[in-house]
């Protein structure tokens, strides 16, 4: 059976305030085309369909559109909810949608109820394990304590029990949204450390032929039967070296797996640049990054004037600006008080805002608010000094 494994769409998410709506639409167009061209027999989406529990209307419209397109192809599709999704909202209408071949698995109580598929070699049981928040799901699995590892382990015990009741030779596929030990993280994943346990052991998935994992945004193989597809788009600059793909998985008659990575469309490449401002603006070897989304770390000893404006003249898609001044060996780092001594109040305030909000320059409206605030303080101070003592 040929399966297409994807996850972590995060519909509705932006990239440092840049809209990804068109890029996400392009990915979904690509996914539907792959299903047709590669004769995919089932699509597996391992959680984080949306970026937040209350997705915007544009994100919902994208999801609705791709559901209709997949249903029209007659290719069964299994979704699970991830830690970014609202399981209840994503699962609305699951019973009715199920009839169209779109299977939304968001209820922890249904972990051991598989979607039954079949090919010329016999039955394939697809178990959808939604993200299992321990505090909310322990009681369902008869646990009084424990983190994600124990809850997911209990769910997998139910899966193995159900599989044992199936006809001999039934192949088993599991979808799960978890941080499995040995996986590599990115900056764009929301922490799911719960109950003191950040990860679950790979052995939790023993007994099944393929585990389609979601949550980590880098495509990776933990074992031949245990893989993350990763996110189809980059959602942080920590993913600059990641190749964004889906897994095209062939499940053989004996349950063995072969898999091929299929590239996803790249809306714009990423680049992380580091150095002094003048050097970055002049270096000819950086011409290749002039159309990229760029993160810049400036190492100038003193903060240059209007660095974002200067950078965007050469790199118009600079989205994040960081400062890590380099100091000569043995040179003392001046204190904050020394660095701001003698500088105007407004300039100090602007520098603080840049520090706590890296990559975002202050606009004229915000600068006006700061001026008004300082003026108000000055007026209040003047009035207080005029009062008789």
Q: Which residues of 178-212 are buried (b: 16+ CB within 10 A; e: fewer)?
A: bbbeebeebebbeebebbebebbebebbeebbbbb
Element spanning 173, H or E = strand 171-177
Residue-level pLDDT at 336: 60
- The dihedrals phi and psi of 39, each to the nearest 5 degrees, come to 55, 50
| Alpha-carbon gap, residue 280 to 283, rounded angstroms | 5
Distance between CA 156 and CA 213 in Å, rounded?
14
Rounded CA gap, 83 and 237, in Å?
A: 21
Please report the pLDDT score of residue 199 as a whole number.
82
Q: What are phi and psi for residue 24, nearest 5 degrees?
A: -70, -35
Helix-helix angle 21-37:57-73, to 10 degrees: 10
pLDDT at 379: 62
Beta bridge partners of 65: none
| Residues 6+ positions from 12 with CB-CB distance below 8 Å | 50, 51, 52, 55, 56, 58, 59
> Contact 26/265 with Cβ under 8 angstroms?
yes
Distance CA 83, CA 134 (A): 12
Q: What is the location of CATH 3.60.21.10 in the chain?
A: 2-263
Q: d(Cα 44, Cα 227) in Å, to the nearest integer?
A: 12
Three-state secondary-structure class, residue 355: helix
- Full pLDDT tens readout for the chain, 389 residues: 999 999 999 999 999 999 999 999 999 999 999 999 999 999 999 999 999 999 999 999 999 999 999 999 999 999 999 999 999 999 998 889 999 999 999 999 999 999 999 999 999 999 999 999 888 888 888 888 878 889 999 999 999 999 999 999 999 999 999 999 888 887 777 665 543 446 899 999 999 999 999 999 999 999 999 999 999 999 999 999 999 999 999 999 999 999 999 999 999 999 999 999 999 999 999 999 999 999 999 999 999 989 999 999 999 999 999 999 986 555 555 556 656 666 778 778 887 887 777 666 777 788 878 877 877 776 665 555 445 54
Name the residue with tokens 């060996």. Answer: 329
Structure confidence at residue 365 (pLDDT): 82
Cα separation of 186 and 139, whole Å? 32
The β-bridge relationship of strands 210-214 and 171-177 is: parallel
* 186 Cβ contact partners less than 8 Å away, ≥ 6 residues apart: 216, 217, 218, 235, 236, 238, 239, 242
CATH number of the domain located at residue range(s) 2-263 in this protein:
3.60.21.10
Mode of pairing for the β-strands spanning 42-46 and 77-80: parallel
In this structure, the dihedral spanned by the alpha carbons of residues 54, 57, 59 and 65, taken in order and rounded to 10 degrees, is 130
Dihedral Cα 90, 94, 98, 104, nearest 10 deg: 30
Residues in the chain: 389
């Amino acid at each position: 059976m040929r399966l297409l494994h994807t996850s972590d769409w995060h519909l509705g998410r932006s990239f440092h305030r840049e809209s990804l709506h068109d890029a996400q639409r392009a990915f979904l167009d690509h996914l539907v085309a792959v299903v047709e061209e590669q004769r995919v027999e089932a699509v597996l989406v391992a959680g984080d369909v949306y970026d937040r529990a209350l997705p915007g209307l544009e994100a919902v419209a994208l999801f609705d559109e791709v559901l209709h397109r997949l249903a029209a192809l007659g290719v069964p599709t299994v979704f699970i909810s991830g830690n970014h999704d609202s399981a209840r909202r994503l699962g609305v209408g699951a019973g009715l949608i199920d009839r169209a071949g779109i299977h939304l698995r968001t209820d922890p109580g249904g972990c051991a109820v598989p979607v039954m598929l079949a090919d010329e070699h016999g039955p394939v049981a697809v178990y959808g394990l939604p993200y299992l928040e321990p505090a909310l799901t322990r009681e369902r699995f008869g646990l009084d304590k424990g983190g994600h590892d124990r809850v997911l382990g209990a769910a997998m015990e139910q899966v193995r029990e159900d599989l044992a009741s199936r006809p001999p030779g039934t192949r088993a596929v599991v979808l799960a949204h978890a941080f499995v030990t040995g996986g590599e993280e990115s900056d764009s994943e929301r922490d799911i450390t719960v109950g003191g346990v950040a990860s679950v052991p790979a052995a939790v998935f023993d007994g099944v032929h393929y585990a389609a994992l979601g949550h980590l945004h880098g495509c990776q193989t933990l074992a031949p039967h245990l893989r993350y597809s990763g996110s189809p788009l980059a959602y942080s600059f920590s993913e600059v070296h990641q190749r964004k793909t889906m897994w095209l998985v062939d499940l053989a008659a004996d349950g063995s797996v072969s898999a091929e990575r299929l590239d996803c469309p790249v809306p714009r490449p990423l680049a992380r640049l580091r150095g002094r401002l003048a050097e970055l603006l002049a270096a000819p070897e950086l011409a290749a990054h002039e159309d990229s989304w760029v993160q810049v770390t400036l190492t100038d000893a003193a903060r240059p004037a209007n660095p974002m404006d200067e950078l965007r003249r050469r790199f118009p898609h600079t989205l994040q600006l960081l400062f890590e001044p380099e100091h000569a060996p043995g040179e003392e780092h001046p204190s904050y008080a020394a660095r701001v001594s003698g500088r105007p109040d407004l300039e100090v305030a602007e520098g603080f805002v840049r520090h706590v909000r890296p990559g975002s320059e202050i606009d004229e409206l915000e600068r006006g608010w700061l001026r008004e605030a300082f003026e108000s303080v000055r007026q209040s101070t003047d009035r207080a000094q005029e009062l008789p003592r």
